[in-house]
Amino acid sequence: MSSPLVQINKNIKAATHSKASLRWILVILSLVVGLVATFSVIRILNYVDQHRQAEITLIRIEELANELNSLGWRAIAERELDQELTREVDKIYKQMDEQLNQLKHVGHSREDLRIVDEQYHMYIEVMNDPRWKQPRPLMY
């Protein structure tokens, strides 16, 4: 049989070992929680950045649409669609296509993009209709 001192010594060692194990478990658990929190913050920042990029792209699309509208009014005021105006319109169409493609890459809703894309291409079809390019008498 063990003496009481040996038994007390074993109990102290076991308690010390349990405390050390518990400390390591807490350290590891803290590291895991810290890593999960860090990766969560990074993911949230990426999500926010994507939405910011989408917002900037949408603002640029709106600016291009306003420029296109302005050119339309200019053509009406000048009563013709000359080569310079046609080049400017084509340039805006190209920029609009680029912005719409960029919008597809920043993680926007596919359904929203499909609707915007359809409406834009419908607009282009109407504007490229040869009947618009024929001279017409203005009615006042």
User: For 81-130, how does the pLDDT look when each residue is reduced to its tens digit (9 = 90+)?
Assistant: 788 888 998 899 899 889 988 888 876 667 777 887 788 888 778 777 76
| Closest C-alpha among 61, 35, 36 to residue 117 | 61
User: What is the pTM for the complete model shown?
Assistant: 0.63
Indicate the DSSP class of residue 80. S
Give me the pLDDT at residue 8, please.
Answer: 65
pLDDT for the residue numbered 140: 38
Q: Confirm if 72 and 64 have CB atoms less than 8 A apart.
A: no
> Structural domain boundaries of the chain?
4-133
pLDDT band at 6; cut points 50, 70, 90: low
Note every long-range contact of 60-63, with CB atoms under 8 Å and residues 24 or more positions apart, other chains counting: 60/99, 61/96, 61/99, 61/100, 61/103
Binning pLDDT at 50, 70 and 90, where does residue 7 land? Answer: low
Residue that wins the pLDDT comparison between 136 and 43: 43
What was the pLDDT predicted at 124? 78
Answer yes or no: is pLDDT of 136 > 50. Answer: no
Cα 112 vs. chain centroid, distance in angstroms?
Answer: 13
Characterise 82 by phi-psi region: left (phi > 0), alpha (psi -120 to 50), beta (else): beta
